[in-house]
Amino acid sequence: MIDIVPYKSDWPDEFQEIAFNLRKGMGELALRIDHIGSTSVPGLSAKDVIDIQISVKKLDTQIITGMTSLGYKQLKRVTRDHCPPGSPDKIEEWEKMLFLPSSGQRRTHIHIRKQGRANQRYALLFRDYLRQHPATAEAYAELKSRLAQHLADPAMYPEVKDPAVDLIYLPAEQWAVDTLWRQGESDA
């Protein structure tokens, strides 16, 4: 069963603590460490799982060694994200590594993605768009709650949720373009 809980004000602090340890352990391998997913959006209901994206130069064995030394286990069956409509369909644009904590650690999903790839941008843009559009975030929270309540098979939750996330991501792309254009206009 999927459990969607109301927003917890301590999620950002929990992210900061985890990110500090990741930064210490990963060093220069981590180009950036970002709080992503629903727990990164103030006021948004979510599963009580901190999603973190680590952006790297390349996906290689150094990443695996670094993450396992910090007590994380690689989920080897997850090697890429789904490709949303209209996005680059080159498979390498969606490659990733996913790590889960060992027992006793805070529930997290650590997504390792290559800097500059489509899936790295997707996660950040989705988060930023929801932060700036609270009504969309509220509608998304309602969708997640209904899915969690009514899906008989919890494994189907991400399968059904992914296209809904795409429905947010697609206008977020245009929003990003418009925002950059407006910023360029004000700088002129």
Given this model, what pLDDT does residue 187 score? 53
pTM: 0.91
Which superfamily is assigned to 11-187 in CATH? Beta Polymerase, domain 2 (3.30.460.10)
Which residue type occupies 179?
Answer: T
Per-residue pLDDT of the chain (188 residues; tens, 9 = 90+): 789 999 999 999 999 999 999 999 999 999 999 999 999 999 999 999 999 999 999 999 999 999 999 999 999 999 999 988 888 778 899 999 999 998 889 999 999 999 999 999 999 999 999 999 999 999 999 999 999 888 878 888 888 888 889 999 989 989 998 887 666 555 54
Do 114 and 94 touch, CB atoms closer than 8 A?
A: no
Nearest-angstrom CA–CA distance, 181 and 145: 35
- Compute the radius of gyration of the chain from its Cα atoms: 17
Q: Which residues pair with 35 in a beta bridge?
A: 52
DSSP 8-state class, residue 45: -
Extract the runs of DSSP E, i.e. beta strands, from 67-119. 72-74, 97-101, 108-114
